[in-house]
Amino acid sequence: MDVPTLTAYLNGRYAPLGALQVSVLDRGFLFGDGVYEMIPVYARQPFRLAEHLRRLDRSLAAIALANPHSDAEWTNIVAQLVAAQPFDDQSIYLQVTRGPAYPRSHAFPATVTPTVFAFADPLTPPAREAVEQGVTAVSIPDIRWGRCDVKAISLLANVLAKQAAVAAGAAETVMFRDGWLTEGAASNLFVVKDGVITTPAPSTRMLTGITYDVMIELARAHGLPLQIRDVSEVEVRNADELWLTSSSKEILAIVALDGNPVGNGVPGPIYLTMYTHYQEAAQARRNTP
């Protein structure tokens, strides 16, 4: 495996990504005992960093793991990583695990030092074709655990869901639980019907994305009809528009679900409006010194 020689961070040390190593006894490796964040960076300016750090703190609290850094320390780590990369638009990955411990035991170890890891990838915007023509999706039942609001590194169920999309030649998998929309394998979802934007309310059944919050703010700021409530599977399958949102994909229209067209089978007018508003917000971040 070829590992890029990009600067990464591990427990206070900055070094090439391929030179960093974690103990095989790390509880993140053995149990998936940890959480993570993904932060988009535009023109070397982190987008919604404070919100991402708040969500990281909530996830850590949910698994009873003390945050190893203050917001100022996290901000410094991110800033140094951003400065060390040769590209301007980046995706910063932060991960905190409970750390290495022996003997292997499900219960929390009495004494342990968390493992803190971070690295940057180039942030590549969605292809113009995907923006202009939309993407396709498949659906599956949502059989994940009951705390999907925790951004945990134990993502096997999401991996399998995403692979279902790949196997079908689709971009995303839409998940339903007991007849209700939850989220995508790696995204939040928005439905449009008769000009009204609807999205599921935050709950333990989904991970509320930072881009999800941005979409809600933009819809309200521009006076677009918006409802935040439970969304039925029937509503999704009869939607005029369906979008996915995430930090890496930004906002994309889903134009077919399980082989059936969504609305007219092309990105709809409200999606195009919201896409423009998001790009304006990102551009404003690029112009912020």
- Which pLDDT value is given to residue 283? 80
Residue range 166-195: mean pLDDT, rounded: 98
Asked if the model's pLDDT at residue 21 lies above 70, the reply is yes
Structure confidence at residue 77 (pLDDT)? 98
Straight-line distance from the first to the last Cα atom of the chain, in angstroms, rounded to the nearest whole number: 38
Q: What is the pLDDT of residue 282?
A: 80
Largest Cα–Cα distance of the chain, in whole Å?
Answer: 58
Question: Which alpha helices (H) appear in the chain, and where do they start and end?
Answer: 27-31, 49-62, 71-84, 128-133, 156-167, 210-221, 233-237, 269-286
- Asked if 116 and 11 touch (Cβ cutoff 8 Å), the reply is yes
What pLDDT is stored for residue 286 in this prediction?
Answer: 64
Return the structure tokens found at 259.
Answer: 């082989």
Catalytic center residues: 151
Report pLDDT for 284: 75
Quick: pLDDT tens for 196-209.
999 999 999 999 99
pLDDT digits (tens, 9 = 90+) for 227-270: 999 999 999 999 999 999 999 999 999 999 999 999 999 999 99
pLDDT in tens, 41-61: 999 999 999 999 999 999 999
> Hey, what's the torsion of the CAs at 232, 233, 235, 238, to 10 degrees?
-170
3-class secondary structure, 36: strand
What pLDDT, on a 0 to 100 scale, did the predictor assign at position 287? 63
Q: How large a percentage of the chain has pLDDT more than 90?
A: 94
Across the range 112-141, mean pLDDT stands at 96
pLDDT tens, residue by residue, 71-123: 999 999 999 999 999 999 999 999 999 999 999 999 999 999 999 999 999 99
Encoded amino acid at 105, one letter: S
Mode of pairing for the β-strands spanning 226-228 and 196-199: parallel
Res. 288 pLDDT band, cuts 50 70 90: low
Which residues neighbour 16 within 8 Å (Cβ) at sequence distance 6 or greater?
3, 5, 6, 7, 8
Q: Which domains, and CATH codes, for the chain?
A: 7-122 (3.30.470.10), 128-286 (3.20.10.10)
What are phi and psi for residue 144, nearest 5 degrees?
A: -75, 175
> Among 22-31, 120-129, 131-140, 163-172, which stretch is predicted with the lowest mean pLDDT?
120-129
> What local confidence, expressed as pLDDT, does residue 5 receive?
82
Does 289 have pLDDT greater than 60? no
Residue 270 in contact with residue 195, Cβ under 8 Å? yes
